[in-house]
Amino acid sequence: MTAIAFDDIDGINAEVSEDWGDWGNEVVVTQEMINGFADLTGDHQWIHVDVERCERESPFGGPIAHGFLTLSLMPSLIKIPIELTGQKNVVNFGSEGLQFRRPVPAGSTIHARSRLLGATKHKVGTLLSFESAIHVKDSAKPSLVYTSMILFQG
């Protein structure tokens, strides 16, 4: 991967591709993580935390991770699909879209990959957009698709 200056908008946009980048790190989503997330957020819906009821009644066959838990793991899962240099600060600017497409069962290993969508000049830096997809390992279809906007500042 070639390093590009964070303020080289044309250079960054020349790297835009429909192709997905490499898979990032893998994370096992344990029931303990799900329970901890439920405690932090107050979302104790039974499809996440009641293992016995899930095994009896859930259409998923067991507990599933909260969608926002899956999303919150994004920083540990992805590789930004471009290497930028020269920035002093990088901040999460927002999202252009989020879809929860498939459940993440407790005990699943997940990983993600991304693709660059583009860059625009912003009054305080460069706004980079990229799409990421989190998959349960060995699943061809993603559990979550997220379009991120990251602001790089010099």
Cβ 88 vs Cβ 154: under 8 Å: yes
For the chain, the straight-line distance linking the first and the last C-alpha, in angstroms and rounded, comes to: 21
Q: Residue 120: what are its φ and ψ, rounded to 5°?
A: -135, 155
In terms of DSSP H, where are the helices of the chain?
9-13, 31-41, 46-49, 51-57, 67-72, 74-77
Output the pLDDT for position 2: 79
Q: Which amino acid is at 118?
A: G
In the chain, where the domains are located: 3-29+64-153
| pLDDT score, position 53 | 98
Confidence (pLDDT) at 101: 98
pTM of the model: 0.92
Residue 112 to residue 53: CA distance in whole angstroms? 30
- For residue 80, the model assigns a pLDDT of 85
At 123, list the tokens: 């009054």
Tens-place pLDDT, residues 17-32: 999 999 999 999 999 9
Q: Is the pLDDT of residue 1 over 90?
A: no
3-state class percentages of the chain: helix first, strand second, coil last, to nearest 5: 25, 40, 40
**pLDDT confidence band for 79 (50 / 70 / 90):** confident
* Each residue's pLDDT tens digit, 42-59: 999 999 999 999 999 999
User: Which homologous superfamily is 3-29+64-153 in?
Assistant: Hotdog Thioesterase (3.10.129.10)
